[in-house]
C-alpha cells in the first residue's frame, strides 16, 4: 500500500488511483493545514501525559511538527501534500513519518482517528475565521459610522424610499447608520459562532467510541482553548454544528453587504446620481469608453446568492445522515470551507469598495423632498389637530393628487385649504425636507438628535464587541501565526474556488 495513506494492512490490492483521486479532499482543505498541525501538537501532549510515548518520541514528533509548520508558513508544504494523499490530515501525518528517521512518526496517530482529528481541526479553523469575520464586520461598522459623522456634520439630506418610491426625507447619516446596524448584528453572530467552537474538544474521541489507551483528554483541550473535552465520542466525531454556525454568520454578513451594494449600484447610475464609485473600485467597458461600472458591488450582490446556495448544500449533506462519522461529512467540510473562505473574501472586498464611495451632497439635498415626501408630516399635523388618521390620510392624498396634476410641490396654499377643510384656524407642517427631518421626535428617528444618539450607541457597541473578542482569547498565543499560515495557503484554496 502507498506509504502516504494511513490505512491498508487488511487490503491485498492497491487502491484504484482514480477513486483515490475522486475521494481526495486535499484541494478543499489545504486551508486547514496550520490548524491540523496544532491539533497534532495537542495530541502529542495527550500521548505524552498519558505515558503512551516516551520523551524521545515526544521530542521527535514535536520537532517534526514544528518543521511541518515552518513549511506551511513558507508556502512549501502544498507541493509535498499533493503527492498521492487523501487529505491535508493524511499529508501532515505522512510528512511527520518522513521527517522522523527512527520511526517515531508512526506513533503520532496512536489513539487517534481522522474522525476526531478532522472534527477538532475544523473547530480551530472555524474559531479563527469567526474572529476574522467579526473583525471584518466591525470594520464595516467603523467605516459606515465615520461616514455618518461626516454627513451629519454636513447635514446631507436624502429622500428615503420604500418600494423604491419616494417615502420621507431623512438624513444621509440616518441611512448610513441603518446600513451599519446589520453589520453590528453580524459581529454578534460571529461572536456567538466563535464561542460555539470553544465549547468542547473532540480530540481523543477516536473513531466512534473512545480509546482503550490512557489518553489525557484534559490537557489538549486546555492547550487548544476549549472549555472541556467532548462528553460523547459518537456525537463529537459527527458534529458539524459549530463550523456551520460560522458559515451561517458569513452568509448572513454577505447578505447584509449585498443589500447595501444593490442600493449603491442604483445610486451610482446617472439617473439617480446620488453617489460615485472612485476609479480604484470601478471598472470600464471594453467597447464603451464612457463607462464606469460598480463591478465590486455587483459581484458582492451575486456572491451573496451563491453563498446562500453553497450553505444550503452543506446543510443538505447532513439530512438523514446517521450518527457518528460518514464520508458524506467530507462534502459538509468542503462546502462549509468554501462558504467561509468566499464569504470572508466578499466582506473584505465590500469594505474596500465602500471606502471608494463618494456622495453627491448637492443632488441628494435637492431631491430630498421630491415625490411629495413631506405628505406624511402634513397628515401628522392634521392628526394633532384632532382629525382621525384615516381622514387625514385621505385629505392629504387628495391634496397630493391636486398638486401633481398642477405639476407643483405642496405649498402653503395647500396647508390653508387643509386647515379650512379640517375646521382649524391654521395648520403648521413641514413643507421642505430639512424641516421634515428636524420635526421628527421619536426614539430612533432621523432627527439630528436621535442620529447622534445612535452614533454614540453604535460606537459603544463596537468597542464592546472588539474588547470582548480580545478578552475571550487570552490564551491563544499561536493565533497570529495560525492566521498567517492560513493566509499563506488561502491562495491555493481561492484559486481552486475560482476554477
* pLDDT at residue 29, rounded to an integer: 86
Beta-bridged to residue 276, according to DSSP, are 358
Q: Indicate the fold that domain 126-151+171-202+231-366+448-473 takes in CATH.
A: Fumarase C; Chain A, domain 2 (1.20.200)
* pLDDT at residue 495, rounded to an integer: 39
Reply yes or no on whether the pLDDT at 494 is more than 50.
Answer: no
pLDDT digits (tens, 9 = 90+) for 458-473: 999 999 998 876 555 5
Q: Would you kindly state where each structural domain of the chain is located, as residue ranges?
A: 126-151+171-202+231-366+448-473, 375-429
Helix (H, G, I), strand (E, B) or coil at 170: strand
- Higher confidence at residue 101 or residue 84? 101
Residue 216's contacts (CB-CB under 8 Å, 6 or more residues apart) are: 45, 46, 49, 50
Bridge-based pairing of strands 200-201 and 165-171 is unpaired
- Higher confidence at residue 476 or residue 370? 370
H/E segment holding residue 256: helix 241-267
In 3D, which of 235, 256, 250 has the Cα closest to residue 325?
235
Q: Tell me how far CA of residue 160 lies from CA of 169, 190, 400, in angstroms.
A: 6, 30, 18
Reply yes or no on whether the pLDDT at 166 is more than 50.
Answer: yes
Residue with C-alpha cell 476609479? Answer: 279
* pLDDT at residue 107, rounded to an integer: 97
pTM: 0.89
Computed over its alpha carbons, how large is the radius of gyration of the chain?
30
Residue 362 C-alpha cell reads as 448637492
* pLDDT at residue 476, rounded to an integer: 41
- For 185-247, the DSSP string reads HHHHHHHHHHHHTTSEE-TT-TTTT--SS----HHHHHHTT-SEE-S-HHHHHH--HHHHHHH
Query: Which residues are part of the catalytic machinery?
Result: 163, 285
pLDDT digits (tens, 9 = 90+) for 260-315: 999 999 999 999 999 999 999 999 989 999 999 999 999 999 999 999 999 999 99
pLDDT digits (tens, 9 = 90+) for 413-457: 999 999 999 999 999 999 999 999 999 999 999 999 999 999 999
Mean pLDDT of the chain: 91
Does the CA dihedral 121-126-127-133 come out positive or negative? Answer: positive
Reply yes or no on whether the pLDDT at 8 is more than 60.
Answer: no
In degrees and rounded to multiples of 5, residue 473 shows phi and psi of -130, 40
Q: Is 460 exposed, middle or buried (0-12, 13-18, 19+ CB in 10 A)?
A: exposed
Amino acid at each position: 500500500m502507498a506509504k502516504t495513506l494511513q490505512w491498508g494492512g487488511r487490503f491485498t490490492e492497491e487502491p484504484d488511483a482514480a477513486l483515490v483521486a475522486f475521494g481526495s479532499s486535499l484541494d478543499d482543505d489545504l486551508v486547514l493545514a496550520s490548524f491540523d498541525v496544532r491539533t497534532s501538537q495537542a495530541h502529542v501532549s495527550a500521548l505524552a501525559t498519558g505515558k503512551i510515548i516516551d520523551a524521545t518520541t515526544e521530542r521527535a514528533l514535536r520537532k517534526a511538527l514544528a518543521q511541518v509548520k515552518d513549511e506551511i508558513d513558507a508556502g512549501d508544504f502544498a507541493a509535498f501534500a499533493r503527492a498521492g494523499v487523501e487529505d491535508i490530515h493524511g499529508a501532515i501525518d505522512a510528512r511527520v513519518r518522513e521527517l522522523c528517521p527512527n520511526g517515531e512518526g508512526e506513533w503520532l496517530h496512536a489513539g487517534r482517528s481522522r474522525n476526531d482529528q478532522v472534527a477538532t481541526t475544523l473547530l480551530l479553523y472555524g474559531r479563527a475565521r469567526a474572529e476574522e469575520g467579526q473583525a471584518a464586520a466591525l470594520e464595516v461598522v467603523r467605516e459606515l459610522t465615520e461616514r455618518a459623522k461626516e454627513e451629519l456634520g454636513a447635514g446631507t439630506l436624502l429622500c428615503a424610499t420604500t418600494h423604491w418610491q419616494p417615502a420621507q426625507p431623512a438624513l444621509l447619516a440616518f441611512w448610513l447608520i441603518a446600513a451599519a446596524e446589520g453589520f453590528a448584528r453580524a459581529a454578534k453572530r460571529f461572536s456567538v459562532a466563535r464561542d460555539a467552537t470553544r465549547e468542547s474538544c473532540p480530540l481523543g474521541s477516536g473513531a466512534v467510541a473512545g480509546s482503550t489507551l490512557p489518553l489525557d483528554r484534559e490537557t489538549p483541550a486546555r492547550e487548544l482553548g476549549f472549555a472541556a473535552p467532548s462528553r460523547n465520542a459518537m456525537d463529537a466525531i459527527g458534529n458539524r454544528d459549530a463550523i456551520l454556525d460560522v458559515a451561517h454568520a458569513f452568509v448572513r454578513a454577505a447578505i447584509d453587504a449585498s443589500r447595501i451594494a444593490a442600493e449603491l449600484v442604483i445610486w451610482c447610475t446617472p439617473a439617480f446620481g446620488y453617489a460615485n464609485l472612485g476609479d480604484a473600485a470601478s471598472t470600464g467597458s471594453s467597447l464603451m469608453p464612457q463607462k464606469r461600472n460598480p463591478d465590486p458591488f455587483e459581484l458582492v450582490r451575486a456572491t451573496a446568492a451563491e453563498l446562500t446556495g453553497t450553505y444550503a448544500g452543506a446543510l443538505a449533506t447532513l439530512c438523514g445522515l446517521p450518527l457518528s462519522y460518514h464520508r458524506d461529512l467530507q462534502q459538509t467540510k468542503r462546502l462549509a470551507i468554501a462558504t467561509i473562505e468566499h464569504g470572508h473574501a466578499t466582506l473584505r472586498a465590500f469594505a474596500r469598495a465602500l471606502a471608494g464611495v463618494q456622495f453627491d451632497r448637492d443632488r441628494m439635498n435637492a431631491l430630498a423632498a421630491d415625490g411629495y415626501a413631506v405628505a406624511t408630516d402634513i397628515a401628522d399635523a392634521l392628526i394633532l389637530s384632532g382629525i382621525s388618521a384615516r381622514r387625514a390620510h385621505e385629505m392629504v392624498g387628495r391634496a397630493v393628487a391636486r398638486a401633481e396634476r398642477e405639476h407643483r410641490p405642496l405649498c402653503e396654499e395647500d396647508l390653508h385649504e387643509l386647515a379650512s377643510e379640517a375646521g382649524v384656524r391654521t395648520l403648521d407642517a413641514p413643507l421642505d425636507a430639512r424641516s421634515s427631518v428636524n420635526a421628527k421626535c421619536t426614539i430612533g428617528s432621523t432627527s439630528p438628535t436621535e442620529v447622534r444618539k445612535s452614533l454614540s450607541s453604535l460606537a459603544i457597541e463596537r468597542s464592546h464587541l472588539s474588547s470582548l473578542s480580545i478578552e475571550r482569547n487570552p490564551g491563544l498565543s499561536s493565533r497570529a501565526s495560525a492566521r498567517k499560515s492560513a493566509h499563506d495557503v488561502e491562495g491555493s484554496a481561492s484559486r481552486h474556488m475560482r476554477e
